Amino acid sequence: MRAIRLAAPAIAAVMLFAANVEAETLQLSPANPQPNAEELAQGLAVTYAYPPEVKSIRDAEHWLGGARKVGPPLSGLHYIDTRKGDKVMTSEKATRVAAEITGYVRFERAGAHKIEFFSNDGVSAELGGQEVAWYDGRHPCNSAGYQDVSVPEPGWYELKIIYFQRLETACLLMKWDGGEGGMAWAQDDVFAYRK
């Protein structure tokens, strides 16, 4: 019983620390230089690796460091949970897929925003030089948790995502407030990549 009483304050302190870390507002940096409209195409660039096994973001990064294949661009980040046997995003396979996704997100207004990624399986997302999502391991389509961000000026912000899917189904989605207040799925036209 004494061990339980001693552990309770430590657990409460860890939970309080975790809540404070999650609530931290990250300052995003705009792409520098800002890309010109004629340099960009709508969507996101993606390269795939097809490893024999992938169970973590670290595994995905390892396999993406070797042989990889450029895939058809993603339309955006609204890939809802698939059915078993459906291909992962624009890849050639339905299972054991690692992806590196790059491009830009356009913010129309400066100020405070919320970003939230959903994935099945793992995702690591960096936006404007800050890690805005990390959800490692194998899991169903769930939220990585929302992240408060501060956007200093309207414009394009670089996006880099490492993603993997192992077995069964897959999803990758982004929600944000878009500066309008309420959370909604990010529309495809806010994403772009260099041609």
169 in a domain, yes or no?
Answer: yes
Domain count, the chain: 1
pLDDT, tens digit, 9 for 90 and up, residues 30-55 = 999 999 999 999 999 999 999 999 99
Q: What is the pLDDT of residue 14?
A: 39
Q: What is the pLDDT of residue 182?
A: 83
Q: What is the pLDDT of residue 1?
A: 44
CATH number at residue 108: 2.60.120.1560
For residue 49, count CB atoms less than 10 angstroms from its CB and return exposed for 0-12, middle for 13-18, buried for 19 or more. buried
Q: What is the pLDDT of residue 15?
A: 42
Q: Which range marks the domain in which residue 134 is found?
A: 26-194
185 in a domain, yes or no?
Answer: yes
47 in a domain, yes or no?
Answer: yes
50 in a domain, yes or no?
Answer: yes
Residue 185 — very low, low, confident or very high, per pLDDT cuts 50/70/90? very high
Residue 179 — very low, low, confident or very high, per pLDDT cuts 50/70/90? low
Q: What is the pLDDT of residue 18?
A: 43
104 in a domain, yes or no?
Answer: yes
Sorted by sequence, the CB contacts under 8 Å of residue 105 that are 6+ apart come out as 127, 156, 157, 159, 186, 190, 191
pLDDT, tens digit, 9 for 90 and up, residues 97-136 = 999 999 999 999 999 999 999 999 999 999 999 999 999 9
5 in a domain, yes or no?
Answer: no
pLDDT, tens digit, 9 for 90 and up, residues 59-100 = 999 999 998 999 999 999 999 999 999 999 999 999 999 999
Bridge partners for 44 per DSSP: 74
Query: What CA–CA distance (Å, rounded) separates 174 from 101?
Result: 13
Per DSSP bridges, beta strands 26-27 and 142-151 are: parallel
Q: Which CB contacts under 8 angstroms, 24+ apart, belong to 130-139?
A: 130/26, 130/27, 130/28, 130/29, 131/26, 132/26, 134/57, 136/56, 136/57, 137/55, 137/56, 138/55, 138/166, 138/167
Say if residue 7's pLDDT is above 90: no
Number of Cβ within 10 Å of residue 100's Cβ equals 19
pLDDT, tens digit, 9 for 90 and up, residues 133-151 = 999 999 999 999 999 999 9
13 in a domain, yes or no?
Answer: no
